[in-house]
Structure 1
Amino acid sequence: MSNGDEIIKGRGAQLNVGNRFDAHSHELRDDFLNYCAVEGEEARASGTTLTDTFPKTIVNKVTSPDIRMGYSLNPYQGCEHGCVYCYARNSHEYWGYSAGLDFEQKILVKRNAVALLEKKLRSKSWEAEPIVLSGNTDCYQPIEKKLEITRSLLQCFLKYKHPVGIITKNALVQRDMDILKELAADNLVQVNISITSLEETTRRLLEPRTASVKKRLETVRKLSEANIPVSVMMAPIIPGINSHEILPLVKAISENGAQGVGYTMVRLNGAIGGIFTDWIKKAMPHRAEKVLHQIAECHGGNLNDSRFGRRMKGEGNIAEQVEQQFRIARKKYFKDKGIMPLNCELHREYKDGQMKLF
């Protein structure tokens, strides 16, 4: 640690940055912190709170040209996994919260998610197209174990024979293997497991409340053994932190049965730049400046990069080296592998929740 800073254990972000939409800013003053230390009180609330919400729609059209999904569905807003680099942090500001600690401590639960999905799938105007769970925040974050909203959503997709994709860092997806097997029998599901590193110490720092590396590799293997199509995303690659792991990680996931692999380069848009900078100076002070400079080198000299076509992969020497390593890794470990497109043909016959006879 540097300058006497202490890491908040179990959290990614180490502070609450200001919300760009707020008229007022908030800060923790030294005299208040000193008072709390003397009195033995916590300066910050450390627990997680849940707030029920009831949105009017649940399926979102994805218009970004460099994200390969047409529609997404997020049963939760905010994510207790606490990945410090997460691009979704900025979306928490639209709800009046901070992209920092608030993002992982104040979770919004969409209680009517299943009813809204069913309404969408039964709509006469809806034509089947894959809907991805977790386009923004993880549908298998810790609270899902209790609430089971994601499980109910999968049951809805199965009832209407509708294609669904899943993106997650949590081994909790194994709980729903029974439903996933039924979906996979009709080629209606693909699971994408995010694995950022093979090193557990790195995982604990970057993604404090996610499943361990061992559990994620086990999840890939078990899904594959159950004939459920599974891919892995190495997302994001952070120069100086996990960029040296490309070949061994791709080898490991191939050996565990993954049928596809992809990657993105880290980009620190909006409030995330400040959150990540604060975190790395506390968590990895000896290499903070080197990592920040290398990230900036991948994005035209900035931590922030919103340019379509380049923001996901970066540019410059470091980004080119990463791309070349992935090309080699795919050729070596995924030469004869691939995943079929999801089946969009069955849903029309099941729009009423049962197959039509005529």
Structure 2
Amino acid sequence: MANDHSANPLRPRTGRGAASNLAGRFVPCTSTREGDGWETELEPLERLETEAVEEKAKSIIATNRSPDLPFSQSINPYRGCEHGCIYCYARPAHAYMDLSPGLDFESRLFYKANAAELLERALRRESYRCSPIALGSNTDPYQPLEREKQVTRQLLQVMQRFNQPVTIVTKGQLILRDLPLLAEMAQDNLCRVAISVTTLSNDLKRRLEPRTAGPAARLRVLETLSQAGIPTAVMAAPMIPALNDCELEDILSRATGAGATRAAYILLRLPHEVAPLFRQWLEVHYPERAAHVMSIVQQSRGGRDYQSDFAQRQAGTGVFARLLQQRFRVACRKLGLNTGDEGLDCSRFRRPPRPGDQGDLFSL
């Protein structure tokens, strides 16, 4: 039985994105707390602490053949994400562990302590064929937990030794901790970083992505990375109808001024439990426009909250989706974004010798 720890009515929690611990889709029975009408005041919400659990992973590189993704292999150092972005499409994965995609996703985290060891083992296999690895395709590799666990840093150190190309998407300022390492990899065309900028409004950011860096801080990160010679991109994602879609051109312009040379956007995606969680979030933070937002979302998703078809899940369909796509293309053309090929160099990949390997004899 899963418990939804939120009492009615739904209320925002300071520093958290979800308004409830909505049960995952595999839970057969749930319970909720209901008021009996006698309360004169709402009970204060209990403080929700973050718990980090070590996970011994069996493998570390995930592969995909999705035609709408720009990478074929990826690594996620963490399960769950303390950033608490309400729209995160990785939330439903927590249901596979009998945890809620809601508050559990933000507060019950898992880190892959043996990730670097598994990566080195995978890269040393004779069957491995080098292609760029996307770091953090689900949860953010530079979420707050990384400061303590350093799983992402350890993975990057392995990649640097093997000359393994890597792409990174993050909202975290913590990436600047690894600036020297990333700059060295970029000199050999082995690294590219995308910074996700969802909004330029601090107020909307606090509600939408409660534990992330602010918009100005992300633009400074983008500028610092660019000045260090690291190819950078901006992810204007997700674009949410009637909330932040009006900011698209401004986000792209500010990011270009900070040094970004490439850009991408994604229309809001609401798979599985993300849809009811997002609806709850709208009712808590923007009740006056909740119906309007979801009406446009459904117009862009074939009359439903979400469609998973590879051909349209990133951009959607319908009038709003087409207009958003046209606006993006026009803005990129005016700003000079997405010109030229900035592919990473896979030809440098090598397997460095280990102590005791026969190759060591020739270095004496």
TM-score (norm 1): 0.93
SS of the counterpart of 2:33? coil
Deviations 1:203-246 (A, max 9, x none): 11111111110110001101100000111111110010111111
CA contact (8 A) 1:259 1:338 kept: no
CA positional deviation for 1:34? 5.8
CA positional deviation for 1:304? 1.6
CA contact (8 A) 1:128 1:348 kept: no
- Specify whether residues 207 and 337 from structure 1 end up closer, same or farther in structure 2 by C-alpha distance, changes over 3 A only: same
Matches within 5 A, 1:342-353: 342-348=344-350, 350=352
2:152 corresponds, among 150, 153, 161, to 150
CA positional deviation for 1:14? 0.4
The separation in 2 between residues aligned to 1:32 and 1:78, in whole angstroms, is 36
User: Can you give the 5+ residue segments of structure 1 that lack an aligned partner in the other structure?
Assistant: none
- Specify whether residues 264 and 349 from structure 1 end up closer, same or farther in structure 2 by C-alpha distance, changes over 3 A only: same
Residue matched to 1:28: 33
Matches within 5 A, 1:18-57: 18-30=23-35, 42=45, 44=46, 46-57=48-59
CA contact (8 A) 2:262 2:337 kept: no
1:325 corresponds, among 324, 327, 331, to 327
The separation in 1 between residues aligned to 2:28 and 2:353, in whole angstroms, is 47
The separation in 2 between residues aligned to 1:308 and 1:317, in whole angstroms, is 19
Is 2:89 aligned against 1:87?
yes
Letter of the aligned partner of 1:81 in structure 2? H
Q: State percent identity of aligned pairs.
A: 37
Higher relative CO (Cα under 8 Å, sequence separation at least 6) belongs to: 1
Deviations 1:185-216 (A, max 9, x none): 11111111111111111111111111110110
The separation in 1 between residues aligned to 2:175 and 2:342, in whole angstroms, is 21
CA contact (8 A) 1:151 1:176 kept: yes
- Specify whether residues 198 and 339 from structure 1 end up closer, same or farther in structure 2 by C-alpha distance, changes over 3 A only: farther
Letter of the aligned partner of 1:255 in structure 2? G
Letter of the aligned partner of 1:12 in structure 2? G
CA RMSD of aligned residues (A): 2.3
The separation in 2 between residues aligned to 1:8 and 1:163, in whole angstroms, is 39
CA contact (8 A) 2:239 2:268 kept: yes
How many residues align? The count is 353
TM-score (norm 2): 0.91
The separation in 2 between residues aligned to 1:226 and 1:281, in whole angstroms, is 43
SS of the counterpart of 1:68? coil
The separation in 2 between residues aligned to 1:54 and 1:301, in whole angstroms, is 42
Q: Give the stretch that moved more between structures: 186-195 or 62-71.
A: 62-71
Residue matched to 1:14: 19
The separation in 1 between residues aligned to 2:89 and 2:338, in whole angstroms, is 32
2:182 corresponds, among 180, 183, 187, to 180
SS of the counterpart of 2:178? helix
- Specify whether residues 57 and 70 from structure 1 end up closer, same or farther in structure 2 by C-alpha distance, changes over 3 A only: same
Residue matched to 1:306: 308
Letter of the aligned partner of 1:308 in structure 2? F
CA contact (8 A) 1:18 1:26 kept: no
The separation in 2 between residues aligned to 1:33 and 1:197, in whole angstroms, is 41
The separation in 1 between residues aligned to 2:281 and 2:38, in whole angstroms, is 19
Residue matched to 1:99: 101
Is 2:283 aligned against 1:286?
no
CA contact (8 A) 2:207 2:285 kept: yes
Deviations 1:51-73 (A, max 9, x none): 11101001000222211111110
Residue matched to 2:297: 295
User: Can you give the 5+ residue segments of structure 2 that lack an aligned partner in the other structure?
Assistant: 1-7
